[in-house]
Structure 1
Amino acid sequence: MDGLIKGFRDVIIGDGGRDGENDSRDERSRSSWAQVVSGDQDDGARPPSHWRKQEPSQQVNVGSRPSSRPQETDYGRYEKDERDERHAYNQNEWNRKEQGEENNDGWESVGRKPRRRPQKVHMDHWQGYKKVPSEQEYGDEVGTGTSIEPSEEELADLSQACNRLWQLDLNRLEPGKDFQLDCGEGKRVHQKEDMAEESLFYSLSEDIFRKPTFSRFCALLDNYNPNAGCKEVVTTEEKQEQSAFIEEISRTAPIKYLHRYLSLKGIVSENYQDFKRMLTKLWFDLYGRGGTSGSSSAFEHVFVGEIKQRGEEEVTGFHNWLQFYLEEAKGRVDYQGYILPRRRGETPDSETQLLTIQFEWNGVRKAVSSTMVGVSPEFELALYTLCFFVGGEDNYVQLGPYSVNIKCYRFGDKIGSVFPIAEC
């Protein structure tokens, strides 16, 4: 039994325990992550895809996907957390230049979908994010009319605090206006068939890439080697990008609320500069995963995603909707349908903001992954940081209309993995 539990631990956070942090890891439950999100629906209970809408005037449509080839790997058995992702990853596919991708006057054409107009992400200003943080320009501080003081009830109840963060996410996108999804049809975790004829994102407002926190977040996504176990090389410019991103989000209501909450509980310093340095260290400091020191970070694992190389290759992490959108637009992600909810009748639609899905990343299947669509980078980082410091492994909270379990795995004093699970 001890060996079984140890095996589960290795799955979640890789082989980093060989770097000496094994003993400080929290005890894990033995429940299957695949079982948590997937119910016992009949195979035929697949709601039809009926969410297509007229394209809004200022939204960019991402095209339809080529059908994927059948998978030969057996995905019938799954272990907890991210063990339920089975695949065979071709590293050469990652490095090849995507067909239809081109640069033009600071714009990157990232779509190669024949039926819809490709998305263009304005990137020429990203170079400025590499400057010394003190020399950069930032967005305005959150207005004084926005209360960031935690109530006594929120200080006593993590769920209420998380819901307050949801309310303070002023940059969150508006479903139907800023984005529309094409969820396709539902499936069980073990099913290999591609149940989605189209891309997940039917449309997305191009204005979101002008939001400072969104733009800075996207600029960080290409700083990482996706292969777990490969030592990361972080340049001075990339470190400046990280610090500038933390500076940008620290001007927003969710992060200010997070600081006030944690400081009132005596967890962090009341000094805001110390708090920002703590956030940078927590999310960007490298640690060992996959048996190699300095090969991973909380930011890379949770938001960007990694390809586990030891043993049977698999995708781990990759829980951010912006990363999913950009990779899908580039043709690197193949959305294959949503995971059927445990309660019948509660199927996602074009305006869903909490979604459990299956997809392939460069031909590698991720059997189950949950993501919050349309939320801001500052909200996600604040939510996960709050649960890391105040919560446990399972954090059952309310986020607006959604009942969510924020699953948080610790790796010593670091974030091993953290992601949402829809409680439905």
Structure 2
Amino acid sequence: MDHWHEFRRPPSEQEYSDEVESGAYLEPAEEELADLSQAFNKLWDLDMNRLVPGKDYEIDCGEGKKVYQKDDMAQGSLFSWVNEDVFRRPTFARFCSLLDNYNPDEGCREVVTSEERQEQAAFIEEISKTAPIKYLHKYLSSKGIISENYQYFKRTMTSLWFDLYRRGGTSGSSSSFEHVFVGEIKQRGEKEVSGFHNWLQFYLEEAKGRVNYQGYIFPRRRGQLPDSDTQLLTVQFEWNGVLKSVSSTLIGVSPEFEIALYTLCFYVGEEDNHVELGPYPVDIKCYRLGDKIGSAFPVAEC
């Protein structure tokens, strides 16, 4: 599980993947610029690194439950296995190298080391070579929101996701990346988990024994119950003994896809974004904290 540690090197020694070739397929069409749902579907199609259920990983959803039910309805783990080759994929490896950079206590001021800044820059550099991020840039620059200069765009992405801000009454205690992907534990009143919407973080923490999966949440409507092929799942779990009563996550998607998805929501979407993501009708929630992403996550609509 240590494949990503090879990326913990100074910038002069970093190696990156080849860039995807630019082409017409990365240019947002007029209908995509006019309809966010179509843009999101394009991002879904461009996620060439998305994993395949049964080939790259397997999940066991266990039994379903209502949000208010506290009984553990899953005897085992959510993830039965994940192919270790997944962690050799550059964007996945660089993403994983970031996950241990944070204190989970919401009110604890973060200390960012020079090595961690290198990891942040390397992650942004790596995902910027992929189709979802290139499409995101072309989309935002077409609307005049972001400069056409790609280096400026990368600096903007680094600032958006990794700059620290105040949460839980403490300045410099949180960031968009930490909250959305890593998760935090609220300390005021009864402890609860906030954020933590990423499947890779879930898998790794579950493998370390820090996550106790307690079952999926029944769909709000009478729809198809989740199975091992489901890639949008609403679950309940405990992290470090603290409950997350309901949490939705996209399973198997790449880090670059989620970064592009939530960044697009932040710049051109609303708080609620009712869209189609491949086969899934979904509401992408995006909450702002000033000029930063306060939280972003999917909510299944069936």
Tell me the TM-score normalized by structure 1.
0.70
Alpha-carbon displacement from aligned partner over 1:391-411 (angstroms, at most 9, x marks no partner): 000001111000110001000
The 1-side partners of 2:8 and 2:257 are apart by 21
Hey, what does 2:5 align to over in structure 1?
Answer: 126
The 2-side partners of 1:316 and 1:178 are apart by 28
Gaps of 5+ in 2: none
Secondary structure, aligned partner of 1:214: helix
Secondary structure, aligned partner of 2:171: coil
Return the index of the structure with the highest Cα Rg.
1
Question: Would you tell me which structure has more strand in proportion to its own residues?
Answer: 2
Alpha-carbon displacement from aligned partner over 1:178-200 (angstroms, at most 9, x marks no partner): 11110000000000100001100
Hey, what does 1:213 align to over in structure 2?
Answer: 91
Hey, what does 1:256 align to over in structure 2?
Answer: 134
Hey, what does 1:324 align to over in structure 2?
Answer: 202
Kindly indicate whether residue 193 of structure 2 is the aligned counterpart of residue 300 of structure 1. Answer: no
Kindly indicate whether residue 299 of structure 2 is the aligned counterpart of residue 418 of structure 1. Answer: no
Per-residue deviation at 1:122? Answer: 2.9
Per-residue deviation at 1:343? Answer: 2.2
> Contact between 2:28 and 2:139, CA under 8 Å: does it hold in 1?
yes
Alpha-carbon displacement from aligned partner over 1:401-424 (angstroms, at most 9, x marks no partner): 001100010001110000000010
Hey, what does 1:236 align to over in structure 2?
Answer: 114
Secondary structure, aligned partner of 1:166: helix
The 2-side partners of 1:224 and 1:373 are apart by 22
| Aligned counterpart in structure 2 of residue 338 of structure 1, from 216, 226, 229 | 216
Per-residue deviation at 1:345? Answer: 4.4
The 2-side partners of 1:333 and 1:421 are apart by 21
> Contact between 2:282 and 2:301, CA under 8 Å: does it hold in 1?
yes
Alpha-carbon displacement from aligned partner over 1:35-83 (angstroms, at most 9, x marks no partner): xxxxxxxxxxxxxxxxxxxxxxxxxxxxxxxxxxxxxxxxxxxxxxxxx
Hey, what does 2:58 align to over in structure 1?
Answer: 180
**Greater RCO between the two (CA within 8 Å, min separation 6)?**
1
Quote the sequence identity (%): 75
Per-residue deviation at 1:146? Answer: 7.2
> Contact between 2:7 and 2:97, CA under 8 Å: does it hold in 1?
no
Hey, what does 1:152 align to over in structure 2?
Answer: 30
Kindly indicate whether residue 218 of structure 2 is the aligned counterpart of residue 374 of structure 1. Answer: no
Secondary structure, aligned partner of 1:231: coil
Query: Root-mean-square deviation (CA), in Å?
Result: 1.1
Aligned length: 302
Alpha-carbon displacement from aligned partner over 1:131-184 (angstroms, at most 9, x marks no partner): 12x531001101346721000000000000011000000000011211111000
> Contact between 1:228 and 1:289, CA under 8 Å: does it hold in 2?
yes
The 2-side partners of 1:250 and 1:367 are apart by 34
The 2-side partners of 1:391 and 1:128 are apart by 34
The 5-angstrom pairing of residues 329-408 of structure 1 reads 329-408=207-286
Per-residue deviation at 1:127? Answer: 4.7
Q: Quick one: which amino acid aligns to residue 2 of structure 2? A: H
Per-residue deviation at 1:311? Answer: 2.2
Q: Quick one: which amino acid aligns to residue 138 of structure 2? A: R
The 2-side partners of 1:178 and 1:130 are apart by 28
> Contact between 2:233 and 2:251, CA under 8 Å: does it hold in 1?
yes
Hey, what does 1:171 align to over in structure 2?
Answer: 49
> Contact between 1:139 and 1:251, CA under 8 Å: does it hold in 2?
yes
The 1-side partners of 2:213 and 2:248 are apart by 13
Q: 4+ residue runs of structure 1 moved beyond 2 angstroms?
A: 127-130, 143-146
The 2-side partners of 1:167 and 1:122 are apart by 30
Per-residue deviation at 1:205? Answer: 1.2
Per-residue deviation at 1:128? Answer: 3.6
Q: Quick one: which amino acid aligns to residue 196 of structure 1? A: A
The 2-side partners of 1:329 and 1:318 are apart by 16
Q: 1:127 to 1:235 in 2, by over 3 A?
A: farther
Secondary structure, aligned partner of 1:147: helix
The 5-angstrom pairing of residues 73-84 of structure 1 reads none
Gaps of 5+ in 1: 1-120
> Contact between 1:357 and 1:368, CA under 8 Å: does it hold in 2?
yes
| Aligned counterpart in structure 2 of residue 224 of structure 1, from 102, 111, 115 | 102
Alpha-carbon displacement from aligned partner over 1:294-318 (angstroms, at most 9, x marks no partner): 0000000000000111222211000
Kindly indicate whether residue 64 of structure 2 is the aligned counterpart of residue 194 of structure 1. Answer: no
Per-residue deviation at 1:206? Answer: 1.2
Kindly indicate whether residue 81 of structure 2 is the aligned counterpart of residue 203 of structure 1. Answer: yes
Alpha-carbon displacement from aligned partner over 1:316-338 (angstroms, at most 9, x marks no partner): 00000000000001110000000
The 1-side partners of 2:30 and 2:162 are apart by 32
Q: Quick one: which amino acid aligns to residue 75 of structure 2? A: E
The 1-side partners of 2:243 and 2:119 are apart by 31
Alpha-carbon displacement from aligned partner over 1:234-284 (angstroms, at most 9, x marks no partner): 001100100000000000000000000000000000000000000000000
